[in-house]
Amino acid sequence: MAEDLKGKISRMYYLSDISKTEIGKRLGISRFRVSRLLEQARQEGTVRIQILEPPTTFAEIEEQLEKRFNLLHAIVVNPGDQSEQMINAAIGKAAAERLVNLLGDGDILGITWGATVNEVVKALPPKVDTRLQVVQITGGANQMAININAMDLVSRVAAIFNARSYVLYAPAMVSQPAIREALLEDSGIHETVAMFDKISVALSGIGALSTRAISNLLRTGFISDEDLKTLKEKKAVGDIFAHFFNIQGRICDTELEERIIGMGIDQLKNVRYSIGVAGGTQKSLAILGALKGKLINILVTDYATACDLLEKDLALSE
């Protein structure tokens, strides 16, 4: 009799979508007994629940990334092919969707620069009805020749959300700490810098010290040849808006840190949701360093890179 009752309750609850309270009323038993019988049915195998994942998702590897690096969330995408453009576009689309769902009224969104961040902005809807503020969290006045500069990205996001924007009319890095201190005294720059501690969501690309990346850094004046030599000696693998770190996520050069105009690493680590968007196995070591250093707590990347991250981390731990 009890087995028949378990089967009947299971059919009513799972197939007919009848609430536990209503089932109890119909059968003359308490809601608590309904819950207990449903739990027994699952434990005994009378009821089996199967989740059919969409074919384009990678739930298992996302869970591995989340557990291995203590992430709040990981999103792994399938770009279709391994070209840089396709990888960035696929990451951008997934990150844009997550960002819209993540942001709520009153949030303060921090934006950096980069090709992948640009793809996120391109993938956002034309208009989003969420009341927030948008802050440029790294300088970028010396990026105007590159179509990924932070001021442009911030203004585009602000237009989408009809938000107030705070921009930094300054380079990401200057030649001397004294110049940085002088610029920070400017009232316009100071107003933006004062917002850094209030950032609730940060969106950042992750740079790798590849040949191409080094070329861009030198061309835009972020670093000098001497800076680059120092970074190589200290085994830098990547950067998050000019904060250079090694494979363990530790900052490589404190002198360079004193020349950056932008959000500090400690401030970034205190952000509630810090989203890193990066893909391509050429960036694996840089992404791994950012993960190990807890510089991001949400990662959006591609499948090949996700697998490479897990393999490289395992090799490093052996």
* In a shared domain, residues 16 and 164: no
pLDDT at 307: 94
* In a shared domain, residues 156 and 10: no
- Structural domain includes residue 234: yes
User: Taking all residues of the chain, what is their mean pLDDT, rounded to a whole number?
Assistant: 88
Q: Number of folded domains in the chain? A: 2
Residues 6 or more apart in contact with residue 45 via CB below 8 angstroms: none
pLDDT digits (tens, 9 = 90+) for 161-202: 999 999 998 888 888 899 999 998 888 899 999 999 999 999
pLDDT digits (tens, 9 = 90+) for 42-61: 888 888 877 665 555 688 89
Q: What's the predicted TM-score (pTM) here? A: 0.80
- Cα Rg of the chain, angstroms: 24
Q: Which residues constitute the domain of residue 219?
A: 59-317
Quick check: 145 pLDDT over 50?
no
Which CATH number fits the domain that encloses residue 12? 1.10.10.10
pLDDT at 230: 86
* In a shared domain, residues 112 and 260: yes
> Which H, E and C letters describe 266-306, residue by residue?
HHHHCCCEEEEECCCHHHHHHHHHHHHCCCCCEEEEEHHHH
CA atoms of 120 and 115, how far apart (whole Å): 9
* In a shared domain, residues 135 and 25: no
* In a shared domain, residues 24 and 126: no
- Structural domain includes residue 296: yes
pLDDT digits (tens, 9 = 90+) for 57-95: 688 899 999 999 999 999 999 887 778 889 999 999 999
Across the range 113-141, mean pLDDT stands at 91
Give the count of alpha carbons within 13 A of 77, CB side only: 24
